[in-house]
Amino acid sequence: PLFMNFDWFRRYYNEMIKKSGKRVAHFIIPKKTREFLSYLSMRIEHLENLGNSNETADFAKNLVIRERRIKISTSELKKIREKLVKKQISFNMLRRIIGMSFENLYRGRSNSIDENSLKVLEKLIKIKIKHTVFLGKFIEICLNDLEKLAEFIGIMLGDGGIYTSPKPVLNITLNRIDEKMYINYVKELIFGLFQKYPNEIIKKKEKGIILRLYGKVIVNSLTSKGLIPGDKVKNQVFVPKWIKRNKFLIIQCLKGLFDTDGSISIDSRNKTFMLTFKNASYPLIKDFKEMCESLGIITSKIYKIENFTDTGKKIAYYLKINSKVQIKKFLNRVNPEKWKELQRRTYIGIRLIIFNSPEEIKNQINQQILKDFPEKAKRRYTRDFTHYLINLCTDFGLDINRKNIESIIKQELKD
């Protein structure tokens, strides 16, 4: 049934039945081919569900099966030729063995071979041949480091996006003022996966920076791993199934998601830590909850928020982790980059120091903060607000230093 989704396969199947004179034809199809066709079948079903939008049409145009071709450098071809001579294998003999003309490749009359011919050749001369894989005219990106990839997909689902038009592009939007360390971390992660650093587009009037990579092959490689191009809210994105089947990959994906759309704050009621994850895609927040629970981390229920703006109603969802035991479990297992940032730890530590100060000093500090920052949103973590807290607490005689900050954080996480 899977392959009958494709007209070309139906035609081929019916032709084989006619030729053989039998009612049923049997095919042996390699596992990788089955998996790839299964993926295509799933994507086609998804596209049908989306309807006939321009975005759907653009994505469908790019869903083209291309043969993987192998290119081998001149120096590597010479090494192969030397091995063949030692084994007394002529060009004609090799043609019969691998099913293509190695001589044409060696003499420069052709520039690539197919993948199966490469595998046979490697077995024949018993060495691993250095090569480059192409899909059509594009170098194929082999995303084999699944743990890094799972984290990167978490980042993309949080603060990133891929688009197929007007140009195939990958974007990740981060905070260049308050997340300097994390920007460098993401840039290195991108280089590790794609062997190139992203372009940086700075929003001069805002805190934002966009990390951007162009290329159809980059977008195609990520769609093949389960990312959906286009508007993440409209598409109600989710975590790919292959990640949710493996606990190591779940941990890495949770890390990417939390580092982008998660927050670490102080619960003013309980005077302790609180972790929050917020996103506009319900399937994604549901996946976050289920992945946490698969690791034995208990979260709150999922809450819904409705905000009315100039552009209309906006809906978002969030959940919390506010039990000390569960917070400790999450931070230890997932180990988010957010938790390693010194400025953010300073902010958290100072808030805890204020909560644990004598009542009179605590009240005076809180009154001053409310006077200077009446809007709750402006009392969240930023580098500027952290510097403000350091100066304010110092004025009130509180000893703010790295040792005290780390000590109170450690104390707060004790069972």
- Tell me which of 91, 108, 135 is where a domain ends: 135
Task: At 290, list the tokens.
Answer: 């289920």
Residue 316 pLDDT: 95
Q: Is 122 found in the same domain as 152? A: no
What is the span of the domain harbouring residue 188?
A: 146-233
Residue 25 pLDDT: 54
CATH number, domain with residue 81: 1.10.260.40
Q: How far apart are CA 103 and CA 109, in angstroms?
A: 8
> pLDDT tens, 329-369?
999 999 999 999 999 999 999 999 999 999 999 999 999 99
Using DSSP, state whether 85 is helix, strand or coil. Answer: helix
Task: At 89, list the tokens.
Answer: 């294998």
In this structure, of 17-26, 69-78, 151-160, 403-412, the range with the lowest mean pLDDT score is: 17-26
Nearest CA among 368, 371, 373 for reference residue 393: 368
Instruction: Kindly report the backbone phi and psi dihedral angles of residue 4, in degrees, each rounded to the nearest multiple of 5, phi listed first.
Output: -70, -5
What angle do helix axes 342-355 and 383-395 make, rounded to 10 degrees?
40
Q: Is 224 found in the same domain as 163? A: yes
Whether residue 208 lies inside any domain: the answer is yes
CB 225 within 8 A of CB 143: yes
Whether residue 275 lies inside any domain: the answer is no
Q: In angstroms, what CA-CA distances link 401 with 165, 171, 299? A: 50, 38, 33
Q: pTM value?
A: 0.68
Q: Is 79 found in the same domain as 16? A: no
Whether residue 334 lies inside any domain: the answer is no
Q: How far apart are CA 174 and CA 193, in angstroms?
A: 19
Domain count, the chain: 4
Q: Is 155 found in the same domain as 108? A: no
- Tell me which of 233, 250, 265 is where a domain ends: 233
Q: How far apart are CA 68 and CA 75, in angstroms?
A: 22
Mean pLDDT, residues 74-88: 91
Listed in sequence order, the residues at least 6 apart from 366 whose beta carbon sits closer than 8 Å to its beta carbon are 354
Strands (E), 182-261: 199-202, 208-214
Using DSSP, state whether 149 is helix, strand or coil. Answer: helix
Q: Is 73 found in the same domain as 36? A: no
Determine whether 140 is exposed, middle or buried from the number of CB atoms within 10 Å of its CB (0-12, 13-18, 19+): middle
pLDDT top residue among 24 and 388: 388
Q: Is 370 found in the same domain as 345? A: yes
Whether residue 307 lies inside any domain: the answer is no
- Report the mean per-residue pLDDT for the chain: 84
Neighbours of 178 (CB within 10 A): 20
Residue 237 pLDDT: 95
Q: How far apart are CA 17 and CA 296, in angstroms?
A: 53
Whether residue 10 lies inside any domain: the answer is yes
Q: Is 111 found in the same domain as 80? A: yes
Q: Is 109 found in the same domain as 87? A: yes
Whether residue 43 lies inside any domain: the answer is yes
Look up residue 339 and give its DSSP letter. G
CB 340 within 8 A of CB 264: no
Q: Is 227 found in the same domain as 183? A: yes
What angle do helix axes 91-98 and 115-125 make, rounded to 10 degrees?
120
Q: How far apart are CA 215 and CA 218, in angstroms?
A: 5
Q: Is 82 found in the same domain as 125? A: yes
Q: How far apart are CA 87 and CA 177, in angstroms?
A: 62
- Tell me which of 114, 135, 156 is where a domain ends: 135
**Beta strands across the sheet bearing 262-267:** 262-267, 272-279, 312-321, 303-309
Q: Is 111 found in the same domain as 88? A: yes
Percent helix, strand and coil across the chain, each rounded to 5?
Answer: 55, 15, 30
Check whether 302 has a pLDDT greater than 70. yes
Whether residue 276 lies inside any domain: the answer is no
Q: Is 178 found in the same domain as 219? A: yes
Mean pLDDT, residues 109-128: 87
Q: How far apart are CA 98 and CA 124, in angstroms?
A: 9
Whether residue 58 lies inside any domain: the answer is no
Check whether 119 has a pLDDT greater than 70. yes
Using DSSP, state whether 169 is helix, strand or coil. Answer: strand
